[in-house]
Amino acid sequence: MKIKHILLQDKTQEKLTVQGWVRTIRNQSSFSFCSINDGSCNESLQVLFSSEYTSDLSQIKMINTGCCISVEGELVISPAKGQKYELLAKKLQILGNVDIDSYPLSKNRINLETLRKYHHLRARTSAFGSIFRIRNALSFAMHQFYQKEGFLHLDPNIITINECEGGAGVFTITENSLNQIDNLPTIQHDNKNTNNYDWNKDHFGKQAFLTVSSQLNLEAMCCSLGNVYTTNKSFRSEHSSTNKHLSEFVHLEIEMAFNTFQELMDISEKFIHYLVDTVLEKCHDDLMQLDKFISKGIIERIKKLKTPFKRSTYRKCIQVLQKAFSKKKIDEEPIMGEDLSSQHENYLTQHYKGPVFVTDWPIAIKSFYMKQGEYGTCQSFDLLMPDGVGELIGGSQREDDYQKLLKMMNQKNINPKPLQFYTDLRKFGSCPHGGFGLGFDLLVMLFTGMKNIRDVIPFPISYKTCNY
């Protein structure tokens, strides 16, 4: 029986079997106290081994922190403070021993940096157990929200011939081993002494990539089925090791048909508010654990996210930042027509006292597919979140005019040939539509208060780091 369910019930039991991993064990002369956790919740169950109840105590001395055990016994009201029940052990089985000399979690306190070396074990700690249970709750709530809103969950291909964002680093895939370069198929150019790789002899007969975004394909689904979303993985080959950069991440992307730009922001805000309610209700104990030891104040910060989100144009935000720069409140000068830095984003959330939609960006620094507006702008937004998270969601109305789309692709040097399927959507029954992308792992950072994105992912993959 799961410890979570044991602690929630309101009755004792004469016979119960519990399985899990030992967090602590204290041996006395005639009895031992063992704390066991099975990952179902943050709390552990105390097990009492005593000659009065336990038939065979010979194995007790073999138990160490990290051991996996199965215990059969009687669940009784605990006479000690701080716990509702304890288990009087009658039978013990050691399912997995531990080499205590090399077990990395045997120390009382281990910092986060050290734990990043043990991704396969760190979920056994209280902190990471809480983080991953919150991650699970957010993932489930995400699907609940969009299903209730009538969206279809459809995951397009992640192997693609398109780069989508046109500038984000992409990973090229091949079926051939690069360890045998001399055996790779090549094409020799006439009058040149160089050879090029022959993609015609690779798996797809052409160059293919891991996707940086499923958006373009998801738009095709939207323009036939209405509102859709995906939780695909996306991949970025960015040579950066900041606390927010990953090579592989979970990407929530939605597309809405027959919507307005305001409605796109409305559902973004409604989604975050829904997650706030869900996490505060479903993950209270895990949030308390993080609030106490890892992310002090996280519960109050989450509650503040339930306030209405501000909306301000890019031009207005630049003016706010320029004023702040002139008063030396920030040291990075904002420049009209350029992107915002992390410092700029943080200041804007402080200025607006919470989350803020920055809208109507210059299309010169945005993607080709965004709906063109007046005076060189586009109907796009970045949703900035406080506490160092920064941009959480990037969204826009999509350009649904065929001629305008082709003209912008030409201006941004986007090859229209591999995107014919995309431009066809504007030729054959085009409709108003828009969507956004959200990095789910960044969302988990927001709701756990963790400062490094590698601490909210079971097995993070990032620049120069792929160890599993």
- State the Cα–Cα distance between residues 113 and 231, nearest whole angstrom: 29
Same domain, 185 and 261: no
Same domain, 280 and 314: yes
Predicted pLDDT at 59: 86
- State the Cα–Cα distance between residues 38 and 52, nearest whole angstrom: 26
Same domain, 378 and 445: yes
Predicted pLDDT at 109: 79
Predicted pLDDT at 166: 57
* 460 closest CA partner among 129, 120, 174, 133: 120
- Domain range holding 184? 174-203
* pLDDT tens series, the chain, 468 aa: 899 999 988 889 989 999 999 999 998 878 899 999 999 999 999 999 998 888 777 888 899 999 999 999 999 999 988 889 999 999 999 999 999 999 999 777 788 999 999 999 999 999 999 999 999 999 999 999 999 999 999 999 999 988 776 556 899 999 999 998 888 999 877 666 678 899 999 999 999 999 999 999 999 999 999 999 999 999 999 898 889 999 999 999 999 999 999 999 999 999 999 999 999 999 999 999 999 999 999 999 999 999 999 999 999 999 999 999 999 999 999 999 999 999 999 999 999 999 999 999 999 999 999 999 999 999 999 999 999 999 999 999 999 999 999 999 999 999 999 899 999 999 999 999 999 999 999 999 999 999 999 999 999 999 999 998
Q: Among all chains, which residue has been given the structure tokens 């804007």?
A: 348
Same domain, 286 and 358: yes
Same domain, 197 and 277: no
- Share in percent of the chain as helix, strand, coil (round to 5): 35, 25, 40
Say if 464 falls within a structural domain.
Answer: no
Say if 465 falls within a structural domain.
Answer: no
50, amino acid identity = S
Say if 62 falls within a structural domain.
Answer: yes
* 299 closest CA partner among 315, 286, 312, 316: 286
Predicted pLDDT at 9: 87
Same domain, 133 and 255: yes
| CATH code of the domain containing 440 | 3.30.930.10
Same domain, 371 and 420: yes
Say if 120 falls within a structural domain.
Answer: no
Predicted pLDDT at 10: 87
| pTM metric for this prediction | 0.95
- Total number of domains in the chain: 3
- State the Cα–Cα distance between residues 405 and 369, nearest whole angstrom: 7
335 neighbors 327 (Cβ within 8 angstroms)? no
Report the SS3 class of residue 99.
coil
Same domain, 159 and 184: no
Same domain, 402 and 348: yes
Same domain, 259 and 160: yes
Residue ranges of alpha helices (H) inside 82-179 are 112-115, 126-148
| CATH code of the domain containing 32 | 2.40.50.140
Instruction: Classify the phi-psi angles of 92: left when phi > 0, otherwise alpha if psi is within -120 to 50, otherwise beta.
Output: beta
- State the Cα–Cα distance between residues 36 and 22, nearest whole angstrom: 5
Same domain, 265 and 166: yes
Same domain, 263 and 384: yes
Sign of CA dihedral 133, 135, 136, 140: positive
Say if 8 falls within a structural domain.
Answer: yes
Q: How far is CA 423 from CA 35, 163, 296, 315, 379, in A?
A: 61, 15, 49, 30, 19
- State the Cα–Cα distance between residues 334 and 339, nearest whole angstrom: 8
